[in-house]
Amino acid sequence: DVKVTQSSRYLVKRTGEKVFLECVQDMDHENMFWYRQDPGLGLRLIYFSYDVKMKEKGDIPEGYSVSREKKERFSLILESASTNQTSMYLCASSSNNLGQTSYEQYFGPGTRLTVT
């Protein structure tokens, strides 16, 4: 059974703190993604990675950074958390089939982050 796990389901942090969100997948997928999900806005892509140590900015990368040191692990870092980063954060992964990125993404359960 495919599995994407996220380190925390709920997290409360203070403004200015450095926050680490961890994601691990056990499917040997090449591609990993970080989204945030807000009411009325849907899922918005923050960063993605198509290989170890490779990363690309998504649509809303400001205030975030990522790290992918191992194929199965993709971390999202909030360098200095702000209240407007209060959101649901979803990690996802997908495979490459015959050199093409699969349309199907597998999601983790999400981390609800509150910044006070």
Partner 1 sequence: QKEVEQDPGPLSVPEGAIVSLNCTYSNSAFQYFMWYRQYSRKGPELLMYTYSSGNKEDGRFTAQVDKSSKYISLFIRDSQPSDSATYLCAMSAGTGGFKTIFGAGTRLFVKA
- State the DSSP string of the chain: ---EEES-SEEEE-TT--EEEEEEESS--SEEEEEEEETTTEEEEEEEESSTT--EE-S--TTEEEEEEETTEEEEEESS--GGG-EEEEEEEE-EETTEE-S--EE---EEEEE-
Which one of 94, 114, 115, 116 is in contact with partner 1 (CB under 8 A)?
Answer: 94
- Rounded to a whole number of angstroms, the minimum distance from the CB of residue 14 to partner 1 is 24
Residues of span 29-88 touching partner 1 by CB under 8 A: 31, 35, 39-45, 48, 50, 56
- Rounded to a whole number of angstroms, the minimum distance from the CB of residue 15 to partner 1 is 26
Binding site for partner 1 (CB under 8 A): 4, 9, 31, 35, 39-45, 48, 50, 56, 90, 92, 94, 100-110
